[in-house]
Structure 1
Amino acid sequence: MRVVICATVAASLLAACQTEPSANLTPEENPPNVTVDASTDFALPTSDNDPYVWLEEVEGEKALDWVRAQNERTLGELQADPLYDHYYTDALDVLTSDERIPYGSIRDGMVYNFWQDDTNVRGLWRRTPLESYATDNPEWETIVDFDKLAEEEGKNWVYKGANCFQPEGGKWLCMVSLSDGGKDAVIQREFDLETKTFVEGGFVTPEAKQGIAWVDENTVLIGTDWGEGTVTQSGYPFIVKRWTRGTPLSDAVEVVRGEVTDVGVWPAIIEKEDGTRLQMAVESDTFFTSTYWWLPDGEDEKVQLPIPPKSTPQGVYQGKLLVTLEQDWAPEGQPVAFKSGDLVAFELDPFLETRALPAVELVFSPDESQAVNGVAIAKGAALLSLQENVVGKVLTLEPGSGGWTTSEIVLPGTGQSGIAFADKDVDTVFLNYEGFLTPDSLLRYDVSSGEVSPLKSLPAKFDTEGLKVEQFFATSTDGTRIPYFIIHKEDMPLDGTTPTLLYGYGGFQVSMNPSYSAVRGRLWLEEGGAYVLANIRGGGEFGPQWHQAGLKGKRQIIYDDFIAVGEDLIARGVTSSEHLGIMGGSNGGLLMGAMMVQRPDLWNAIVIQVPLLDMLRYHKLLAGASWVDEYGDPDVPEERAFLEKISPYQNFDPAADYLTPLFLTSTKDDRVHPGHARKMAHLFELANKPFYYYENIDGGHSAAANQKETARRSALEYTYLNRRLFPTAGR
């Protein structure tokens, strides 16, 4: 695909031997230093007053003292369990193993890859010829050693990607994004791939949430923080400027200005098949609606692409601009109408000449079991990634006199598949495939021959013998059938005793698909636990309608879906409330908070990762204002009334019989504010209710700045889950 949007606001979130008993700890025992006494009286937050906003001061001395105390208490307890070291070792072995597929991009016959392991904690940016890449032991050439760079510059650099461009007949230039500690805010520095050095006197930006698009070798479009009053309420840029090499950033010329109420405005490029780069800007009016502006060369006026607000350009193939729709569309003056979820196209050049919308044609219309994931353009092919009943497929697309036709690319089985790499100038496409019990495979699709061949595959990293995957459907409160996958032992007794971990997300049209996780396999499935993935509404598993069913005031149906899956597991005899735990992060962390408050009786463990929990102040914290289209606006009375009902923080009841949760967040998370987890955990503390809390001082929204920290987080999670959900007898 060559529609390059140079920043993202989308939400945007993973043969054990039996160990010794965990110091005779029972699942009901409280964490240390917490005395349960629900009679304690303290001030609860209200819709008008929050006495605990001091915990929102991210680097505040008082707030960090509280964080360090909670970290010390939680780590002291969970890391003392013999399970922890065993889990940490297993997780670190998986995460830093050389037996991982080095996914990458192809440029001039070279495969570029970013790699982290136990030696290269911050990682290597490296490359190898495609021929070498196809071997078992590629000969890698290091481009940047980020551990060395961080040490030389005294920074905690986290690599956030590279935006590369090759002018015709010229060398590759890249803007490398570096984050201090894993934040979304980055600096960008120009890099020469030929010399493997940062360009002296080249483009360099100050730290900000920002985006850059290459216009040509001497010009970029940039959206960044230009100073006071130049970022949106969500903290993203709304002014895009054109910046010329050799001039200070302050001399960049404004080309597009949005509104402070926008989510953000981002530079973008649409690249035609002949290499022409159309300068663009994407004005994200809300999280789900955008205006696409074309910035014609030599003209002061911008031109709006004539597509609906809820739609996304996907690339240009055979002169046609492909667009996915997230709303119904009847183009004005045309005898056609399209449905939300359809893929459509129109001739691009006639639009560029007349600035009027040409005839729009249907490319692909998914049925009720399908959802379009995206489109990628390769040299000589357009590829469609979709899912059918939450199983991935990849099709080729081809226009013809009778309309567009599709042809399915044959993949190894029924799991999750997708397009790992495609480029309009390269006739090699990388496809990936994985399943819950099938390790990742990287396949090479040759456009010219149509052949698919294995390129790389992983060995099994956990013991799958005796495990099986099934898909079931639960019935929600409105009668809708909600699919979920369960991975379990073939001889699992249906007597309610199986420790079961249920994962959910349910938001932002993000699909939860089958995936291979050796960490989950070793730390949970091998231990005898069952794992469940719920495909609740709010996600994108069945297209835009599946997502939109739970927007704003309709959000309770998402929670009802998740509860229905939990109840169905119990009704089938898979597990019981005593042995059922749940996990989710970010928006899924909000789901976990709602489940803790609404149905504390249904679960015995909750892992709440980088969550939103205060839904009356979320829009005032970091990127929160960008999500009002998803959750509703607390400043709109009728929307606030609903949020007051579902906000976990405001609905905390000090007299309620809550289970013992585990909160995880990150000080450096500049997307979802750590204050959410801090304040909710503090309510547990004030009410003398047991809880665990761990806040990584580094690490961004993933709550992990490197693989060692990821291993620590995983070990904490599964130690907690094992203690809460596994029977203690015989351990």
Structure 2
Amino acid sequence: MRRALLTLLPLLFTTPAFAAGQSMEAAAAMPKLTYPETRKVDQVDEQFGVKVADPYRWLENDVRTDPEVAAWVAAENKVTNAYLASLPGRDIFKARLKQLMDYERFGLPEKKGNRYFYNHNSGLQNQAVLYVRDGVNGEGRILIDPNSWSKDGATALAEWVPSEDGSKVVYSIQDGGTDWRTLKVLDVATGAIASDTIEWVKFSAFAWAKDGSGFYYSRFPVATGEKKFQALNENQKIYFHKLGTAQSADTLIYATPETPRRNHQVQVTDDGKWLVITTTEGTDNRYEMTVIDLAAPKLAPRTIFKGLENEWSYAGNQGFNFFWVTNKDAPRSRIVSTNLAVRSAVPPIVEIVPQDKAVLDGAGIVGGKLIASYLADVKTEVRRFSLDGKSDGVVALPGIGKAAGFGGEADDPETFYSFTSFATPTTIYRYDVKTGQSTPWATPKVAFDPSLFDVSQRFYTSKDGTRVPMFVVRRKDVTGPAPTLLYAYGGFNISMTPSFSATRIAWLEQGGVLAVANIRGGGEYGKEWHDGGRLAKKQNVFDDFIAAGEYLKAEGVTSKDGLVIQGGSNGGLLVGAVTNQRPDLFAAALPAVGVMDMLRFDRWTAGRYWVDDYGYPSKEADFRTLYTYSPYHNVKSGKPYPAILVATADTDDRVVPGHSFKYTAALQAADIGDRPHLARIETRAGHGSGKPTDKIIAEAADDWAFAAKWAGLTVKPLQ
């Protein structure tokens, strides 16, 4: 599927017990924490006549280059670690999480030649290992094991792509969670690593030339100076690297120096005859598409869709006839084709599969058929079509949940997909397009009983009358109000689909409830759903989330003071914003790696891309909207806040940790009650990808113990 670019141990299953003395009123009797002293500076910026105080500006400095920031991080972690160590249940959660995470996890296999490449984790390995099989049922052997690359397990094997004949693999190394990558090349037969080394790669696809002579990739210029870790990412260019040569000799393929904020991703078509370049400027699905005929005497870029107006995702081609997924004139997307033999400025567009009530999530040509994945009320449906758009049935999925994958070759009927749901661990299936049969290829065995859990989908009404879906997961014997974890994201056209999480099972087993709200800003219902929760309409996201919390209380799902909210990245912003707006609604909040300063987010690393969802702080209308909900700027004294555990990483170069540092300092300085307001700052970690398993377990144990303490869930010992 193409789209621009994981023995049941007996536990005491009873109705959850609720710890006494954890109400908001009782919390006031607890001794206050002594937070580290955070220096304030007299920093006031005037924007559009508004004086904006920023007393913790110095916390934006990088921990690797500023000793004062490093000392502040150490002091915060000392207080936080001492508090978390005192929580009842943390060791129980940690022990159970270790059991739950100790299962084989497989990634989707990629077939090249007669070889099948896939990620595999035996259970508690800190990083997944790249394996290869000769033949679909062959014995797997290790190709690349990153677990010896660093003592702390924080150096990961990130992206990898095998050559067309399966003889070589280009792979990327990710150190300490950074978004930056170093590329290397491995010989599959011998395991030898070539001398080729490619640096300054970030947000890049890799695409092999059909003959295996080298590969295409995207990179940024070399960053230097004190700000190199936080510098804006601009001037990305596409290069071709010929094997056996130095990076300095790589051939520039495509760049737009006149528009330095544009990013470029490259694909090679299945027939190896074309380059397909996707150009973006932000996070919106608004692309320019450029093709290069590799058979031409001179490589000449030809931009066929201009203007960054619509989504165009390459779905495959038959010679000059290209298939695309697009939202042009179709907010829930459709499949169209264009004939590149027609040399007009914009090739004529032919509709192949029209827009449906469900949202088209991706499509590709496999085994001579169009395989298309749809979201119907946030659940996957996979449909088949002939290349002229005629319906050819469906792919029968194992249940209600999320399916992903369906990659492969246009003339090969073999493909693979994964299937998962909240109580269904991710299973890999082999699908034969010719026969329509799915067979399990890798089935995990997790130490829990999925039959003990109930998954339901509910719909509730938001502030403006919008009907919003929400999944609710709990043990079948938990029928009354119980401590509940409410999660959402709400941005960037990203859909929160059903998926399995071993860490969440630990919360559910103890009698907690999980609710996942599919709020606006995501892609669950297409472009209109996304547009309804961004820019000037961002408040709809917060209203949807608040309404979800109110619904859970009104319907008796959660207990009176038992609602915990959680979100990461844009979801961290969500948690920070609603905590300021409705602190009375929540018992505890878990904002992770959040965008907390909405007036300066576009000044660092990838922040400039987010203006598509947030707007420009430098424009007055956007500034006034952003200022109303920016978590850092809207912490208000005088009202009791829930307990808050802010999570970030000291070297996150996606959402720089200064966001969370400044937000934490503001919380700790405000008169917002006696519940703890702490920061858990991970070291040698980034925004989330590449995080080692032991750190995932430790973080989840801290989160669940903190949530249980303040939501009133007594953690039962393992039996």
Tell whether 2:508 aligns with 1:504: no
CA distance in 2, matches of 1:36, 1:214: 53
Q: For residues 246-261 of structure 1, what are the structure 2 equivalents within 5 Å?
A: 246-259=244-257
CA distance in 2, matches of 1:317, 1:301: 19
- The DSSP-based 3-state class of the residue aligned with 1:372 is strand
The alpha-carbon deviation at position 156 of structure 1 amounts to 5.1
Task: Give the TM-score taking structure 2 as reference length.
Answer: 0.87
Q: CA deviation at 1:574?
A: 1.8
- Work out the CA distance in 2 between the residues paired with 1:453 and 1:127: 20
- The aligned counterpart of 1:287 is 283
Q: Which residue does 1:112 correspond to in 2?
A: 117
Change (3 A) 1:43 1:485: farther
Are 1:96 and 1:707, in contact at CA under 8 Å, matched by a contact in 2?
Answer: no
- Looking at structure 1, the residues matched to 231 and 654 of structure 2 have their Cα atoms a distance apart, in angstroms, of 13
Q: Which amino acid aligns with 1:323?
A: W
Deviation string 1:111-154 (CA, Å, 9 cap, x unpaired) is: 32223346642342212234436xxxxx3211122123447xx9
What is the distance in 1 between the residues matched to 2:510 and 2:348? Answer: 59
Shift of 1:62: 1.3
Which residue does 1:214 correspond to in 2?
208
Q: Distance in 2 between matches of 1:694 and 1:468?
A: 32
Identify which of 705, 709, 722 aligns with 2:708: 722
- 2:274 maps to what in 1? 278
Whether 2:165 is the aligned partner of 1:182: answer no
Q: Secondary structure at the match of 1:72?
A: helix
In 2, Cα distance between equivalents of 1:602 and 1:715: 24
Q: Note if 1:593 corresponds to 2:576.
A: yes
CA shift, 1:71, in A, is: 1.6
Unaligned residue ranges in structure 1 (runs of 5+): 9-14, 134-138, 329-338
Deviation at 1:459, TM superposition (A): 3.7
Aligned counterparts of 2:74 and 2:244: Cα–Cα separation in 1: 46
Task: Determine whether 1:326 maps to 2:320.
Answer: no
The match for 1:365 among 355, 360, 377 is 355
Give 1:34's aligned residue: 33
Contact 2:510/2:716 (8 A) holds in 1: no
Select 1:699's aligned residue among 671, 676, 685. Answer: 685
Q: Does 1:77 align with 2:83?
A: yes
CA contact (8 A) 2:495 2:523 kept: yes
* Structure 2 equivalent of residue 341 of structure 1: 332
Superimposed CA distance per residue, residues 478-533 of structure 1 (whole angstroms, 9 cap, x where no aligned partner): 21111111123445455xx4111111101111111112223211x21111111111
Any idea what SS the aligned residue of 1:178 has?
strand
Once the two structures are TM-superposed, the CA of residue 644 in structure 1 deviates from its matched residue by 0.5
1:434/1:226 CA distance change after superposition, 3 Å: closer
CA distance in structure 2 between the aligned counterparts of 1:684 and 1:285, rounded to whole angstroms: 34
8 Å CA contact 2:35–2:668 kept in 1: the answer is: no
One-letter identity of the residue aligned with 1:725: A
Match of 1:394 among 366, 382, 406: 382
For structure 2, the residue ranges without an aligned partner over 5 or more in a row are 46-50
Residues 1:415 and 2:401 are matched in the alignment: yes
Report the Cα distance in structure 1 between the residues aligned to 2:21 and 2:279, rounded to whole angstroms: 54
Deviates more, 1:20-29 or 1:450-459: 20-29
**Please, which of 267, 270, 275 is the counterpart of residue 269 of structure 1?**
267
Cα-to-partner distance string for 1:593-629 (whole Å, 9 max, x where unaligned)? 0111011011111111111111001111221101001
Partner of 1:173: 168
Would the alpha carbon gap of residues 221 and 132 (structure 1) be closer, same or farther in structure 2, given more than 3 Å must change?
Answer: closer
Given residue 58 of structure 2, which amino acid in structure 1 is its aligned partner?
W
Give 1:662 shift: 0.8
The 1:543/1:206 distance shift into structure 2, 3 A limit, reads closer
Report deviation, 1:421. 4.2
* 2:432 matched residue in structure 1: 446
Counterpart amino acid of residue 683 in structure 1: A
How far off is 1:291 after superposition?
Answer: 1.3
Q: Report the residue type matching 1:257 in the other structure.
A: A
Give the whole-Å Cα distance in 1 for the aligned partners of 2:640 and 2:153: 45
Question: Closer, same or farther in 2 for the Cα pair 1:729/1:245, shift >3 Å?
Answer: closer
Q: Does the 8 Å CA contact 2:18/2:712 hold for their aligned counterparts?
A: no
Task: Confirm or deny: 8 A CA contact 2:232 2:606 kept in the other structure.
Answer: yes
Corresponding residue for residue 498 of structure 2: 514
Whole-Å separation in 1 of the counterparts to 2:153 and 2:504: 32
TM-score of the two chains, using structure 1 as the length reference: 0.86
**2:640 alignment counterpart:** 657
- 1:642 offset after TM fit, Å? 0.6
Residue type of the partner of 1:481? R
> Deviations along 1:607-662, whole A, 9 cap, x unmatched?
11111111001111221101001111001111111101111111111333211201
| Length, aligned pairs only | 687
Equivalent residue letter for 2:289: Y
**AA at the equivalent of 2:160:** A
Deviation by residue 1:26-71 (Cα, 9 ceiling, x = unmatched): 465489762599xx99979765442212211222221121112222
Question: How do 1:443-522 and structure 2 match up within 5 A?
Answer: 443-459=429-445, 461-494=447-480, 497-521=481-505
